[in-house]
């Protein structure tokens, strides 16, 4: 019972954070459309670059671990 109550609280917190984020983004885009669009594209580009870097680093680490196991 306690676990399901905690899970409901976590889900409610997640939904509240997502709703607040969405409302903030809409408000910013309504008042400052150009700056918000540029900032959004910059953030998405940074996330894309970091995802590609993380993928390449993860692949390198996997190769290094395989090399250690073959000895």
* Length of the chain measured in residues: 71
Q: Using the structure block, give the residue that is written with the tokens 């680093």.
A: 57
Token pair in block for residue 59: 């692949």
27 lies in the same domain as 39? no
39 lies in the same domain as 64? yes
- Determine the Cα–Cα distance for residues 9 and 22; give it in Å rounded to an integer: 20
71 lies in the same domain as 50? yes
Using an 8 Å Cβ cutoff, are 50 and 61 in contact? no
21 lies in the same domain as 38? no
Using an 8 Å Cβ cutoff, are 51 and 58 in contact? no
pLDDT in tens, the chain (71 residues): 667 889 999 999 999 999 999 999 999 999 999 999 999 999 999 999 999 999 888 776 655 666 655 44
The count of domains in the chain is 2
Residue span of the structural domain in which 5 resides: 1-31
40 lies in the same domain as 62? yes
46 lies in the same domain as 24? no
pLDDT at 57: 85
pLDDT at 3: 78
pLDDT at 58: 78
Q: Using the structure block, give the residue that is written with the tokens 């917190």.
A: 13
User: Does pTM top 0.75 for this prediction?
Assistant: no
């Amino acid at each position: 019972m306690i676990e399901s109550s905690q899970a409901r609280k976590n889900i409610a917190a997640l939904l509240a954070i997502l709703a607040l984020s969405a409302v903030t983004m809409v408000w910013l885009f309504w008042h400052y459309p150009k700056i918000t669009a540029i900032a959004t594209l910059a953030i998405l580009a940074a996330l894309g670059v970091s995802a590609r870097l993380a993928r390449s680093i993860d692949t390198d680490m996997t190769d290094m671990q395989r090399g250690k196991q073959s000895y």
